[in-house]
Amino acid sequence: MSRSQEPVQRRRLFLSVCVWGLLGVCCAVGGKSLNVLVSSVKLYPDYEPSDVVFRPTLTDPCHYEVEMVCGLDSIQTASPSLLEELADSLRVSVVDLPLVYLWTAEPVERTGQRDIHYLHIQPDIGLRFEDRRNGNRIRFWDLSSLIQGARTLQLSRRFHYTCYRVAYEIDSSKVGVYNQSSEFYRFYTRPERWLEYTGAVADTARRIIGHQSNPYLRALLLFNWLKEHGVYHYPPEQRGATVMLQTLAGDCGQFAYLFIALCRSVGIPSRLVAGFQTTDDQEWSYHAWAECFIPKYGWVPADLTEACAFGELPNNRLVASVGMNIPLPRAPRWANYRNSDVEQGVTDYMQMATIVRAGLAGQRFSDIRMIKAKSLVP
């Protein structure tokens, strides 16, 4: 799942989201290792899942070293008259233009994702924030001071981590019940942008589950139904759970959106997972899947577009973020989905990074590179 390219028109405000990691007027790979261990995000107490008794089996560990590189090339700054016109339209001072803001999702410890060590972040001038409701760590860079005279801006992030195959063995008789009055439950069962459960979505979910009341068996029925009836199609013309229900054709993100909305409509807490997967030829690609919370078992994966059973993930993943409509500190008030991928201070999802830029044009580039991959199974 990746975002479409913005139109390039000289008199148009250029605002965009890129999926990557960016910065610096060219940075060298290597140098002294940071060797910084990245821990999980401490959630607000009301959003911490509770009563988790049974854990998944983690097998087949694989060690990866990865580099994320992205930036802007062939940068051209708007003329003074265009910057003044733009400043008026945005209601900002012309001295604040041109600007480039960047947010990156920092991979942190997850169920099957452990021992993350950063080797370098170049240049490392970002501010770190924690999304303590969803459990994400966000870095923010204001790159505006680097634009003057620059033809290229580039950010490089290099780290290694261990990924495990995840497998849940769920006994439906041992599944607990939800605390429906908790903030956690309300947060992960609410309708939200892209995950609306209108009458049609809710009606479909109720029809699929019938009289089943067990949360795990409900989720499994919804998973199997969508797996059977959905057709993979990329790119979708529109995004969102409602559109996916109408067409039953979409990419990994669309499948995840609809599954989450179906689950939430019948009281199953669910969320999006955005990240990457690698193949046998060690090429990385963008990927998204869903998780639903099963009482006493925790967050259970549901990947609808790969050969995964419900509750299973292979050891070829890298999770960047979880949740949708992720809050971005310092997002401009004028940014919206008509001119960027940020609106009202949030972005729909984050894989590598989100950019808002104004007053300049440039060619975007991004890459996620496999440096090393080694199975740790004897």
Distance CA 233, CA 357 (A): 30
Distance CA 263, CA 356 (A): 33
User: With 80 as the cut, is the pLDDT of residue 284 above it?
Assistant: yes
Measured in degrees and rounded to the nearest 5, phi and psi for residue 340 equal -165, -170
- Summarize pLDDT for 208-238 with one digit per residue, the tens: 999 999 999 999 999 999 999 999 999 998 9
Average pLDDT over residues 133-145: 93
User: With 90 as the cut, is the pLDDT of residue 244 above it?
Assistant: yes
pTM for the predicted model, two decimal places: 0.90
pLDDT for the residue 358: 93
pLDDT band, very low/low/confident/very high, at 70 (cuts 50, 70, 90): confident
Distance CA 353, CA 36 (A): 20
Half-sphere exposure of 368 (CA within 13 A, CB side): 26
Share of the chain above pLDDT 90, in %: 77
User: With 50 as the cut, is the pLDDT of residue 7 above it?
Assistant: no
3-class DSSP state of 220: helix
At CB < 8 A and 24+ separation, what contacts does 56-59 make?
A: 56/111, 56/112, 56/166, 56/167, 56/168, 56/169, 56/311, 57/166, 57/167, 57/168, 57/169, 58/111, 58/112, 58/164, 58/165, 58/166, 59/164, 59/165, 59/167, 59/315
- Summarize pLDDT for 322-337 with one digit per residue, the tens: 999 999 999 999 998 8
The answer to whether the CB of 241 falls within 8 A of the CB of 272 is no
- Summarize pLDDT for 87-135 with one digit per residue, the tens: 999 999 999 999 999 899 999 999 999 999 999 998 888 899 999 999 9
By residue count, the chain amounts to 378
pLDDT for the residue 33: 54
Place of tokens 């290792």: 33
CATH fold for the domain made of 169-310: C8orf32 fold (3.10.620)
pLDDT band, very low/low/confident/very high, at 1 (cuts 50, 70, 90): low
Burial per residue of 46-78, b for 16 or more beta-carbon CB atoms within 10 angstroms, e otherwise: eeebeeeeeebebeebbebbbbbbbbbeebebb
pLDDT for the residue 350: 92
Which sequence spans correspond to the domains of the chain?
36-50+60-165+324-375, 169-310
The answer to whether the CB of 70 falls within 8 A of the CB of 157 is no
